[in-house]
Structure 1
């Protein structure tokens, strides 16, 4: 089948997170999404550029850009970058402009309006709605976006409250997991001490310090942390100060988290108001139940007592109680891991997500402005 619809994703980002991973999953599935995909990229991070090209995605690269606030303002409101992006959209014969991160919202809409192209926006989180520094022209960009896709009902409801005028264009398409890539793995041997996995960017809102403190209070439990960020050195010093640096391994950013998950009995998510939790879904797909706080979009994918455990209080003590209860319950963990895998196969496959975007693209009328 020849794909007629051409989607250009506008990516203005410095880090590699859930938004960038979703983009890769979507752009590498032209059949399921019923579209040809390319990326107009503005990044300061060579690793992001490499990740996209290594997956065979067509990338139109602006070159090295800066992440400071003044550079953002010039990029969003100045003439040069929007002129470059407009040219890329023309050269790619774009039918739809798909924007993903806060830094892409204004410039993406500006370029699309010059060419009378529809804009689809994926809301991967809510932070730019709560940060006053992101408020400049936020509503203008929203009003000139044709369709808004939230990655969870939690994000959709939050956006609807903050910007009720977009409700009629607001939908939920949950992130999906490549269930073949993140295939089910047998848990570690019964002789292996209870080992936890934490896979996330090491930023304050991710709450990794709570888990480190909890591990320090539960003897014999080990923790593997896969991720990097501004808090890494602080967290490493915390582990040393608590005397648990021999039980906690900081592995840095892992482009492939599967070996980490395969070597652990279960995963933990300590985020505050996680929009959805792609790393959580990847853990579930591999048959690893998840301990997480009850908040954000997490309850949409972690079923308490079935595929994991939801904690009502975001405290170290809550983690200590739950982890202590599981130290000698590896059979229970394994059984719940099978239920976790079944949940992904039923509700969390990437094919379902891609088909949802195919429908969202199809609903856009490229002949109309918002």
Structure 2
């Protein structure tokens, strides 16, 4: 049991099964980097991943934990041996690094951290980055002393379904820096690399190419858009299991020459800065880090009314909202913005101000620190 509160900055351990490319890892890395810059001792435990290189300059890394949630290729057999081994290894890391608090970023990681917490008395904060539609009882059991969600929608879901007190759940969107304007040379480089016409409209959509991201509906919206704007260009940034299917659909609809599959890239923010605006046609989305990244570039977003998106995209203020799975509505929204370039600039200015007022890294850090303090106080009171 914690007997007194350690001083700040803290010694924090972040835990996630893998540091793979995606929004959940982006959230973790930006938080950990902000904490390191504020003087925290930051440790990250994982099973490795493509983005390990991004944490090398500011965090100690333990990257060989057996945190794979399931055994084999199917998601049916829980990795109980890995769970036990990871819990014991996390306990050793906590003791060796003199960790004050553990922040988990995945349900399986949270279960392992709960075991380590029992062995060491260290408080745990659980960051929920996906709605726990399945195994809700397991989610409730895995929650730490306090929980963080990225949207009010997720908070309501966790409170209602997992039956926990509202004061144990806090909404903390990601913090982000306002990037420097895209230089003329960088703009030329990107246009040449992707073979884009800088004089024609460019729409960028960033996200893994999986069905829940709704890219199929964006491609199906293009024939109507192209009838009005035949030179429009759409850049899909990301990779995934749906890529071949999307390429075939673009070919079948006769729009393949208007769609660029750019693959997974580390410079997605530059591509959003290059675009006129971005599109987020998701079928499910807890928050959508792409929204704040686009806003930080002063670019409005055409997005769907799912999940936590409407908490951030305000239709006809900083973007346009459309129903999910509705290619026609998506096409109409895109055409409207292309018809009104002055409005695109106004929406973009509003979007950037929203980031400056609500999504700064400093606010991100301060909100998270308040949750950490609450977790420590609750642990002391046990």
- Give how far 1:204 is off: 1.0
What is the aligned partner in structure 1 of residue 327 from structure 2? Answer: 316
What is the aligned partner in structure 2 of residue 238 from structure 1? Answer: 249
1:99-248 map, 5 Å: 99-126=104-131, 129-131=132-134, 134-135=135-136, 137-142=138-143, 145-179=144-178, 182-183=179-180, 192-219=199-226, 220=230, 221-248=232-259
Write the distance in 2 (CA, Å) between the matches of 1:5 and 1:327. Answer: 49
Secondary structure in 1 matching 2:325: coil
What is the aligned partner in structure 2 of residue 50 from structure 1? Answer: 53
- Give how far 1:15 is off: 2.9
> Are the aligned partners of 1:10 and 1:97 in contact in 2 as well (CA < 8 Å)?
yes
> Do structure 1's residue 301 and structure 2's residue 317 form an aligned pair?
no
Secondary structure in 2 matching 1:292: strand
- Give how far 1:63 is off: 6.0
Scaled by the length of structure 2, the TM-score of the pair is 0.86
Which runs of no fewer than 5 residues in structure 1 stay unpaired? none
Write the distance in 2 (CA, Å) between the matches of 1:105 and 1:290. Answer: 33
Write the distance in 2 (CA, Å) between the matches of 1:245 and 1:41. Answer: 39
> Are the aligned partners of 1:116 and 1:368 in contact in 2 as well (CA < 8 Å)?
no
Write the distance in 2 (CA, Å) between the matches of 1:155 and 1:135. Answer: 13
Deviates more, 1:244-253 or 1:358-367: 358-367
- Give how far 1:8 is off: 0.2
1:57-96 map, 5 Å: 57-62=59-64, 68-69=70-71, 73-75=78-80, 78-96=83-101
- Give how far 1:4 is off: 4.6
Write the distance in 2 (CA, Å) between the matches of 1:76 and 1:216. Answer: 51
Write the distance in 2 (CA, Å) between the matches of 1:363 and 1:78. Answer: 27
- Give how far 1:69 is off: 3.6
Write the distance in 1 (CA, Å) between the matches of 2:309 and 2:111. Answer: 29
Write the distance in 1 (CA, Å) between the matches of 2:296 and 2:10. Answer: 31
Deviates more, 1:32-41 or 1:208-217: 32-41
> Are the aligned partners of 1:34 and 1:358 in contact in 2 as well (CA < 8 Å)?
no
What is the aligned partner in structure 1 of residue 336 from structure 2? Answer: 325
Scaled by the length of structure 1, the TM-score of the pair is 0.88
> Are the aligned partners of 1:289 and 1:337 in contact in 2 as well (CA < 8 Å)?
yes
> Do structure 1's residue 38 and structure 2's residue 38 form an aligned pair?
no
Write the distance in 1 (CA, Å) between the matches of 2:38 and 2:175. Answer: 13
Write the distance in 2 (CA, Å) between the matches of 1:140 and 1:96. Answer: 18
Secondary structure in 2 matching 1:246: helix
- Give how far 1:110 is off: 1.0
Write the distance in 2 (CA, Å) between the matches of 1:76 and 1:191. Answer: 54
Deviates more, 1:8-17 or 1:249-258: 8-17
Q: 1:271 to 1:113 in 2, by over 3 A?
A: same
- Give how far 1:357 is off: 0.7
Deviates more, 1:351-360 or 1:166-175: 166-175
- Give how far 1:75 is off: 4.9
The RMSD of aligned alpha carbons is: 2.7
Write the distance in 1 (CA, Å) between the matches of 2:325 and 2:336. Answer: 17
> Are the aligned partners of 1:186 and 1:262 in contact in 2 as well (CA < 8 Å)?
no
1:266-281 map, 5 Å: 266-281=277-292
> Are the aligned partners of 2:36 and 2:58 in contact in 1 as well (CA < 8 Å)?
no
What is the aligned partner in structure 1 of residue 191 from structure 2? Answer: none
> Are the aligned partners of 2:286 and 2:307 in contact in 1 as well (CA < 8 Å)?
yes
What is the aligned partner in structure 1 of residue 29 from structure 2? Answer: 24
What is the aligned partner in structure 1 of residue 194 from structure 2? Answer: none
What is the aligned partner in structure 1 of residue 361 from structure 2? Answer: 350
> Are the aligned partners of 1:120 and 1:149 in contact in 2 as well (CA < 8 Å)?
yes
- Give how far 1:313 is off: 5.0
Q: 1:183 to 1:304 in 2, by over 3 A?
A: farther
Q: Please give the per-residue CA displacement for 1:171-209, whole angstroms capped at 9, x wherever unaligned.
A: 111222122xx3455999997222111001111111010
Number of equivalences: 358
Secondary structure in 1 matching 2:98: coil
